[in-house]
């Protein structure tokens, strides 16, 4: 279940794109494809790309906050997901980012 804004200022990757003035708690638990039209700051990015990023994030760990997977494993899995997304959407990951972490 997506959580765009978490506790202590944490946000998921898609949540980072949601302007705080556009945020309301009612969007929590709702797929990005369902809230895309109501949040202008998201419309700067393709909805299919946002959905893919959300899915990669959600699949990388069941619950990051309680560490169902170790953070290292979750980060590694999320990075693999982002690499697949980059390839699918014909995006280039800068070398500095690609080699980091």
pLDDT higher than 70, residue 65: no
Q: Percent of the chain scored above 90 by pLDDT?
A: 60
What's the CA gap between 42 and 65, in Å, rounded? Answer: 25
At 62, the pLDDT band (50, 70, 90 cuts) reads low
Q: Can you spell out the DSSP letters for 53-74?
A: HHHHHHHH-S-GGGTSS-HHHH
Q: Which residues lie closer than 8 Å to 37 by C-beta, 6 or more apart?
A: 43
* Cβ-contact 45, 31 below 8 angstroms: no
Q: What is the pTM of this model?
A: 0.82
What's the CA gap between 90 and 69, in Å, rounded? Answer: 29
Q: pLDDT tens, 17-44?
A: 999 999 999 999 999 999 999 999 999 9
Structure tokens at 50: 């946002």
């Amino acid at each position: 279940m997506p959580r765009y804004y978490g506790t202590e200022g944490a946000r998921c990757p898609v949540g980072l794109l949601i302007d705080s003035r556009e945020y309301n708690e009612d969007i929590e638990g709702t797929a990005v494809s369902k809230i895309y039209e109501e949040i202008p700051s998201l419309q700067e990015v393709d909805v299919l790309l946002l959905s893919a990023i959300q899915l990669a994030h959600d699949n990388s760990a069941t619950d990051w906050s309680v560490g169902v997977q170790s953070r290292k494993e979750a980060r590694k899995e999320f990075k693999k997901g982002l690499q697949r997304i980059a390839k699918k959407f014909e995006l280039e990951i800068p070398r500095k980012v690609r080699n980091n972490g």
